[in-house]
Amino acid sequence: MKVSIKRTGVLPSADVLVLGYFADMKPNDHPWWSTFPTPIRHLIRTRLGQPDLRMDWGNSYVLRSPTGRVKGALLLGLGKWPEWTGRRGRLLARHMVSLARQHRWRSMIMPIIHRRGVEVDETTIEQRTISYAMADYEFHRWRTAPPGGWPSVDRLTFLARETKPGWEAAIRRGFMIGQSINASRDLANTPGGKMTPTMLAAEARRVAKEARLTVKILSQPQMKRLGMGAILGVARGSSEEPKFIILEYHGGRKIQPPLAIIGKGVTFDSGGLNLKPEPAMSDMHLDMSGGAAAIGAMTAMAKLKLPLNAVALVPAVENMPSGSGYRPGDLLHSLSGKVIEIANTDAEGRVILADAITYAQKFFKPRMIVDVATLTGAAVVALGQRAIVMFTNRGDFEAEGRAIGETSGDYVWPLPMWEEYDSEVKGTFGDVANASKTRYGGAINGAKFLQQFVDPHTPWVHLDIAPTMTSIEGDYLTKGATGTGVRWLVELARRVADSRFKV
Ligand code: BES
Ligand code: MN
Ligand code: ZN
């Protein structure tokens, strides 16, 4: 897909002309009205405002009217102007592309409309471009193409009477981020049998080479020597060897401590001996979405050449039941020295993250740690499927984290981390229990477990991305992984890099 903004006063040719209308606009209120082909003008004039053509938010109409330059028009209802938000802007962008895919339009033109002195800014252009790229993605690597090939939009051209010099660069940046998101979705969508820890490590190596990141992969014997008993314990039930993936990006001064991003890399989560019941197991090849997001964010940072240092750590394991698997009641000796008591083998994510957090602190002395993980079903219960649950050991990050969510489109919402919750993860025979005895507050308990391994002086954010792991209706994304977390991490990295976010 190629996105561009063209400075012109006339309509070039394309499969479809996309026209946004706010609910209160009359046909000729559209600033490009005089350029519309006559049959389209006629259709809009006779039907706009009729019950079958109302420009309420989310409505869309296809007006077929072949003329020389365009095959038809797509009318998009923008709703009431005062209710317009950037959130709607993202959805509109995806809706447009998803309609184009349905109708197999390959080229679209859209004249830009802006209202009452509202400037088109670079952030918006970048954000929209990310949405276009996300909406044009489909995971079809192992499916036979339909007749006519996979639908995809080749050209998306915006028309403006004036353009600004920064706009092209904003589109390029949006595209870089969009591609990193889609690459992360590819990793996640690949089923467990084709994305084992070994294969994920190989993919990380390939991606790292392309983006010029330093890569190091720890093997099982190396992890044994270091004493990473938590990761090794979870991996024991699988015949697939665990891997510990480390990617480094150097964009800052040499001595500057890195931002550490830790991603849960469970390539398949069966639950282990606490086997998941059907249908809970069905999407569990996506349980490495956090790891995929960490890798995606690193490549985006490198492509954007952000001036900071960052390291991604992805513990990659498969959680399987077997005679050699770890058991409920087992005591695992983690890298931190703390003994983890296994209350439930299905709470495996936090166990592998414990060693990764310790490793990050021990070997990188990071300025900040962010972990990204499809950690709990309870997070989905708490917020539904529209927001990432955020936890932090620095209360003042909550507002900042939410702001990063609004700017980036990876919406997050905080839950509390009060010390009263600490008792939920106290062990009986070990130091820390990986699951609470109560059925309540599961997302908080998961975060509390992780916090036991975080040095209290290190700023830390935990993103439970289980809620947004898969696309839902109204997202205008194809089925499967959403690439959740990448946008949030990239926006965080930007703010850390230019000291808007002080750590
Ligand atoms: N990977 C799952 C969490 C999950 C569930 C992610 C649904 C996405 C969608 C995680 O490893 C898990 O199984 N968590 C348990 C924890 C419990 C045993 C304390 C859960 O949420 O039930
Ligand atoms: Mn699990
Ligand atoms: Zn899991």
State the closest ligand 1 atom to the C-alpha of 266, by its place in the atom list counted from 1: 1
User: Who's near 220: CB < 8 A, 6+ residues apart?
Assistant: 232, 235, 241, 242
Average pLDDT over residues 29-45: 92
Q: Which residue has the tokens 């350029």?
A: 35
Q: Which residue has the tokens 């996105």?
A: 3
Cα gap 354→336, rounded to integer Å: 8
Q: Specify the 3-state DSSP secondary structure of 500.
A: coil
**Does the annotation mark 350 as catalytic?**
yes
Pick the range with the lowest mean pLDDT from 44-48, 315-319, 419-423: 44-48
Q: What is the pLDDT at residue 71? A: 84
State the closest ligand 1 atom to the C-alpha of 344, by its place in the atom list counted from 1: 18
Q: What is the pLDDT at residue 64? A: 86
Statement: residue 68 has pLDDT above 80: no
Nearest one of 101, 160, 163, 96 to 128, comparing CA atoms: 96
Q: Which of 350, 367, 448, 487 is catalytic?
A: 350
State the closest ligand 1 atom to the C-alpha of 435, by its place in the atom list counted from 1: 19
User: Who's near 60: CB < 8 A, 6+ residues apart?
Assistant: 74, 75, 76, 77, 95, 99
Q: Which of 346, 352, 464 to mutate to test the pocket of ligand 1 (most atoms within 8 A of CB)?
A: 346
HEC string of 87-116 equals: HHHHHHHHHHHHHHHHHCCCEEEEECCCCC
Pick the range with the lowest mean pLDDT from 116-120, 219-223, 266-270: 116-120
Q: What is the pLDDT at residue 282? A: 95
**Binning pLDDT at 50, 70 and 90, where does residue 23 land?**
very high
Q: What is the pLDDT at residue 275? A: 98
Statement: residue 69 has pLDDT above 90: no
Q: Specify the 3-state DSSP secondary structure of 404.
A: helix
Statement: residue 52 has pLDDT above 90: no
pTM here is: 0.98
State the closest ligand 1 atom to the C-alpha of 348, by its place in the atom list counted from 1: 11
Six token digits for residue 124: 């918006």
Model pLDDT for residues 196-212, shown as the tens digit of each residue: 999 999 999 999 999 99
**Binning pLDDT at 50, 70 and 90, where does residue 32 land?**
very high
Q: What is the pLDDT at residue 104? A: 95
Model pLDDT for residues 149-180, shown as the tens digit of each residue: 999 999 999 999 999 999 999 999 999 999 99
Q: What is the pLDDT at residue 119? A: 78
Statement: residue 66 has pLDDT above 80: no
Correct CATH for 174-497 of 3.40.630.10, 2.30.29.30, 3.40.190.10, 3.40.50.1970:
3.40.630.10
Q: What is the pLDDT at residue 113? A: 86
Q: Which of 276, 327, 338, 394 is catalytic?
A: 276
Residue 488 Cα to chain centre, angstroms: 7
For residue 477, the CA-to-ligand 2 centroid distance in Å is 26
Statement: residue 92 has pLDDT above 90: yes
Model pLDDT for residues 336-364, shown as the tens digit of each residue: 999 999 999 999 999 999 999 999 999 99
Nearest CA to ligand 1 atom 8: 466
Model pLDDT for residues 227-248, shown as the tens digit of each residue: 999 999 999 999 999 999 999 9
Class of the 2-161 domain?
A: alpha beta
User: Rounded mean pLDDT of the chain?
Assistant: 96
Q: What is the pLDDT at residue 230? A: 99
State the closest ligand 1 atom to the C-alpha of 379, by its place in the atom list counted from 1: 21
**Does the annotation mark 212 as catalytic?**
no
Nearest CA to ligand 1 atom 16: 347
Cα gap 212→138, rounded to integer Å: 26
Q: Which of 376, 381, 438, 440 to mutate to test the pocket of ligand 1 (most atoms within 8 A of CB)?
A: 376
For the chain, domain boundaries: 2-161, 174-497
**Whether 458 contacts 369, CB under 8 Å:** yes
Statement: residue 30 has pLDDT above 80: yes
Q: What percent of the chain has pLDDT over 70?
A: 99
Q: Which residue has the tokens 């077997």?
A: 322
Q: Using the Cα atoms of residue 175, residue 210, residue 468 and residue 138 in order, give the sign of their dihedral.
A: positive
Six token digits for residue 298: 């690193």
Give the number of the ligand closest to the Cα of residue 469. Answer: 1
Average pLDDT over residues 114-140: 91
Q: Do domains 2-161 and 174-497 have the same CATH topology?
A: no
Nearest one of 478, 435, 412, 466 to 288, comparing CA atoms: 466
For residue 375, the CA-to-ligand 3 centroid distance in Å is 6
For residue 443, the CA-to-ligand 2 centroid distance in Å is 13
Model pLDDT for residues 375-426, shown as the tens digit of each residue: 999 999 999 999 999 999 999 999 999 999 999 999 999 999 999 999 999 9
Q: What is the pLDDT at residue 279? A: 93
Statement: residue 114 has pLDDT above 80: no
Pick the range with the lowest mean pLDDT from 15-24, 106-115, 392-401: 106-115
Nearest CA to ligand 1 atom 7: 377
Q: What is the pLDDT at residue 118? A: 74
Ligand 1 pocket, residues with Cβ under 6 angstroms: 269, 287, 344, 346-349, 374-378, 380, 435, 442, 466, 469
- CA 61-66-69 angle, to 5 degrees, is 105
Q: Specify the 3-state DSSP secondary structure of 288.
A: helix
For residue 219, the CA-to-ligand 1 centroid distance in Å is 26
Task: Look up residue 173 and give its amino acid.
Answer: R
For residue 57, the CA-to-ligand 2 centroid distance in Å is 39
Q: Which residue has the tokens 């839902």?
A: 472
For residue 377, the CA-to-ligand 1 centroid distance in Å is 5
User: Who's near 51: CB < 8 A, 6+ residues apart?
Assistant: none
Extended beta strands in 127-213, E state: 155-160
Q: What is the pLDDT at residue 381? A: 98
For residue 347, the CA-to-ligand 1 centroid distance in Å is 6
Instruction: Count other Cβ atoms within 10 Å, centred on residue 160.
Output: 17
Give the number of the ligand closest to the Cα of residue 375. Answer: 1
Q: What is the pLDDT at residue 70? A: 86
